[in-house]
Amino acid sequence: MSQTLDYLKETASQTAGPYVHIGLAPGAAGFDIYETELGHDIVGPNAKGDRIRVEGVVTDGTGAAVKDVLIEVWQANADGFYAHPEGGGEVEDGFRGWGRVISDFDTGEWSFETVKPGSTSGRDKSKQAPHLNLWIVARGINIGLNTRMYFSDEDAANATDPVLNLIEWVDRRKTLIAARTETNGTTVYRFDIRLQGENETVFFDV
Amino acid sequence: MTKPGEFYQRDRNLQPPAYTPSYKTSVARSPGLAMISLQNSVSKITGPVFGHNDIDPIDNDMIFNYAADGESAIGERIIMHGRVLDENARPVPNTLVEAWQANAGGRYRHKKDTYLAPIDPNFGGCGRTMTDDNGYYFFRTVKPGAYPWRNYVNSWRPAHIHLSAFGSGFCQRLITQCYFEGDPLIPKCPIVQTIPDQDAIDQLVARLDMNATIPLDSIAYKFDIVLRGRRSTLFENRLEGN
């Protein structure tokens, strides 16, 4: 016999279920309870950089929209710093860099407004291309799915991104790149997430 | 003093896999391809920081936070309390814990819930709190009822409270469900059984805690949440190039 390692075990995940909105977005569940719901304002009023809108739909293995999904966003500011003691530098007053968004119950479409993040430092002196970290939970998803959204107008940075380059199937990298469009003067990035099947989005074990 | 290094990798042998066909909704919502493993970067060791200004003191009291003046929620009054720890058994202080649940009859206050058990007019069913410096948190609520769901024809969820916790890094983000000691529905539930490890299931069952029970007022249950731990940087390369 050997000695025992005295670590605790991580609590097991469970699905967020169909009523996740009650806890994390009660207004959408149909009632008003908190003074301030968290996650609506990702970057605050003072954030530098380009204001953008991100939108998409999450689809299941049959191609149907997932209408009860909740997505959390975690991102750096325009300088590439996260609002965290280990985030690399100072961020603007009011910049949290975290948001929470849910899909429309009828269409499954979701969207949020933010600023485009800057490049962040990667491991071993590498540079990561601008990206949003996304965490997806819903009924039928037993443990939150991690993915990243990159930007279609950052080809040069994307080409040297250390994470995109880890994906050996070059064709799959494009599932992480949101397409830029302009709508009425607003910069919009479209990012559809396919949970399963053809063009399945890349998910990460982080 | 050693610096904090990378987070321990998630033990996928005790976490539920994506594809668990007995839980039918997972069949079409589980990725078919393997996840790509990433070493930590600044994007994952950081995460949102919340403060007490973000929430109100009443937010952790589900008996009163949606009740009319002079009223309170109907049901078995309980205190749900515990600590948020990491795998090194260190407390996770000042982190946000959110909770949601059905009422005493198993009915959720959600426009999509059509179960025939009635809504309690004085019960919303959500709460949130920040852990203190010792990682301690507590909620006051009513014990939720079991409820039926369309999986098998006769499937019932055990009484449970959904819990969400953050930690300091976004890679610690966790949503789970807390069950109650002795509930005979636990071993029958396909959602519980998505977890492949019996010890990990047992870790989701809150224990009756008579010491914390308030006489003539509320029964207490204790539920600790364990988030991923972080090792100390000893010899290896720094995470970042700075």
CB within 8 Å: A19 and B32: no
Contact B82/B137 with Cβ under 8 angstroms?
A: yes
| Per-position pLDDT tens, chain B of length 242 | 467 889 999 999 999 999 999 999 999 999 999 999 999 999 999 999 999 899 999 999 999 999 999 999 999 999 999 999 999 999 999 999 999 999 999 999 999 999 999 999 999 999 999 999 999 999 999 999 999 999 999 999 999 999 999 999 999 999 999 999 999 999 999 999 999 999 999 999 999 999 999 999 999 999 999 999 998 877 655 665 43
Query: Which chain A residue has the Cα nearest residue B170?
Result: A74
CA distance A135 to A74: 8
The residues, ordered by sequence, that sit 6+ positions from A44 with a Cβ below 8 Å of its Cβ are A92, A93, A94, A95, A96
Q: DSSP labels for chain B?
A: -PPEEEEPPP-TTTSPPS--TTSGGGTTSS-SSPPEE----HHHH------GGGS-GGGGBTTTTTPPTT----S-EEEEEEEEEETTS-B--S-EEEEE---TTS--SSTT---SSPPPTT---EEEEE--TTSEEEEEEEPPPPEEESSSTTEEEPSEEEEEE--SSGGG-EEEEEEETT-TTGGG-TTGGGS--HHHHHTTEEEE-TTT-BTTTBEEEE--EEE--EEEPSSSPPSS--
Query: Which chain A residue has the Cα nearest residue B173?
Result: A144
CA distance B115 to A169: 46
ipTM entry: 0.96
Residue type, A46: N
B29 CB within 8 Å of a chain A CB = yes
Q: DSSP labels for A160-201?
A: T-TTGGG-S-HHHHGGGEEEEEEETTEEEEE--EE-SSTTPP
Residues in A 152-171 with any Cβ partner in B closer than 8 A: 162-163, 166-167
* Beta-bridge partners for B178: B161
Three-state SS for A74? strand
Residue B104 burial by Cβ neighbours in a 10 Å radius (0-12, 13-18, 19+): buried
Query: Which chain A residue has the Cα nearest residue B108?
Result: A19
Tokens found for residue B159: 């009484």
B228 CB within 8 Å of a chain A CB = yes
| Per-position pLDDT tens, chain A of length 206 | 899 999 999 999 999 999 999 999 999 998 889 989 999 999 999 999 999 999 999 999 999 999 999 999 999 999 999 999 999 999 999 999 999 999 999 999 999 999 999 999 988 788 999 999 999 999 999 999 999 999 999 999 999 999 999 999 999 999 999 999 999 999 999 999 999 999 999 999 99
B58 CB within 8 Å of a chain A CB = no
Residue B126 burial by Cβ neighbours in a 10 Å radius (0-12, 13-18, 19+): buried
Rg of chain A taking only CA atoms, in angstroms: 18
CA distance A27 to A36: 10
Distance from first CA to last CA of chain A, Å, rounded? 33
pTM tops 0.90: yes
CA distance B74 to B118: 12
When CB atoms are compared, the residue of B20, B124, B239 closest to A123 is B239
CB within 8 Å: B108 and A141: no
C-alpha neighbours within 13 Å on the C-beta side of residue B43: 30
CB within 8 Å: A195 and B38: no
Note the pLDDT of residue B79. Answer: 98
State CA B25 to chain mean position distance.
Answer: 20
Contacts of B86 in chain A (CB under 8 A): 8
Q: How far is A186 from chain B (nearest CA, A)?
A: 27
The CA-atom distances, in angstroms, between B196 and each of A40, A142, B12, B180, B224 are 36, 12, 9, 19, 20
Nearest to A189 by CA among A139, A134, A150: A150
When CB atoms are compared, the residue of A68, A98, A203 closest to B48 is A98
Note the pLDDT of residue B239. Answer: 63
DSSP state of A79: T
